[in-house]
Amino acid sequence: NSVFQGRSVLAEKDFTAAELEYLIDFGLHLKALKKAGIPHHYLEGKNVALLFEKSSTRTRSAFTTAAIDLGAHPEFLGAGDIQLGKKESVEDTAKVLGSMFDGIEFRGFKQSSVEQLAEFSGVPVWNGLTDEWHPTQMLADFMTVKENFGHLKGLTLTFMGDGRNNVANSLLVTGAILGVNVHIVAPKELFPSQDIQDIANKFAKDSGADLVITDDLDKGMKGSNVVYTDVWVSMGESNWEERVNLLKPYQVNMAALKKTGTPDDQLIFMHCLPAFHDTTTEYGKEIEEKYGITEMEVTDEVFRSKYARQFEEAENRMHSIKAMMAATLGNLFIPRV
Ligand code: CP
Ligand code: NVA
Q: 39: cis peptide before it, omega within 30°? A: no
- The half-sphere exposure of 5 on its side-chain side, counting CA atoms within 13 A, is 10
CB contact burial 290-301 (16+ within 10 A = b; e otherwise)? eeeeebbbbbee
- The amino acid sitting at 146 is K
- Tell me, using a 6 A CB cutoff, whether residue 93 lines ligand 1: no
Q: Is 7 annotated as a binding residue?
A: no
pLDDT at 222 over 80: yes
**Beta-bridge partner residues of 106:** 51, 127
Q: What is the pLDDT of residue 286?
A: 87
CA of 296 to the centre of ligand 2 (A): 14
- What is the residue type of 38? I
Q: Which of ligand 1's atoms lies nearest the C-alpha of 60?
A: 8
Distances (CA, A) of 210 to 183, 223, 299: 8, 12, 28
Indicate which residue of 7, 60, 69, 107 is catalytic. 107
- pLDDT tens figures, 117-144: 999 999 999 999 999 999 999 999 999 9
Nearest atom in ligand 2 to 56's CA: 5
Indicate which residue's Cα is closest to atom 3 of ligand 1: 59
| Average of per-residue pLDDT values in the chain | 96
pLDDT in tens, 9-20: 999 999 999 999
Atom of ligand 1 nearest to the CA of 136: 3
pLDDT on residue 270: 99
Strand locations in the chain (E): 47-52, 73-78, 103-107, 125-127, 156-160, 181-185, 211-214, 226-229, 268-271
317 is catalytic: yes
- If pLDDT is split at 50, 70 and 90, which confidence band does 62 have? very high
Angle, helix 310-329 to helix 17-36, in steps of 10 degrees: 110
Q: State whether the beta carbon of 57 lies less than 6 angstroms from ligand 1.
A: yes
Torsion on CA atoms 300, 301, 306, 310, rounded to nearest 10: -20
Identity (one letter) of the amino acid at 201? Answer: N
Distance separating alpha carbons of residues 140 and 154, to the nearest angstrom: 19
90 alpha carbon – ligand 1 mean position (Å): 23
> pLDDT tens across 167-215, in order?
999 999 999 999 999 999 999 999 999 999 999 999 999 999 999 999 9
Would the ipTM clear 0.95, i.e. be above it?
Answer: yes
Q: How many whole angstroms separate alpha carbon 198 and alpha carbon 327?
A: 29
More confident of the two residues 240 and 162 = 162
Q: What is the pLDDT of residues 312-337, one digit of tens each?
A: 999 999 999 999 999 999 988 887 77
Q: Which of 170, 246, 230 has the alpha carbon at shortest distance from 203?
A: 170
Checking if the pLDDT of 1 tops 60, the result is no
| Interatomic CA distance for residues 265 and 25, integer angstroms | 23
Give the pLDDT of residue 2.
66
Contact 272, 324 (CB under 8 A): no
Helix/strand number for the chain, H first, E second: 13, 9
d(CA 130, CA 13): 15
- Report the alpha-carbon distance of residue 310 to residue 330 in Å, rounded: 29
Task: Give the residue from 175, 142, 153 showing the smallest Cα distance to 23.
Answer: 142
Average pLDDT of the residues in 58-74: 98
- Supply the pTM of this predicted model: 0.97
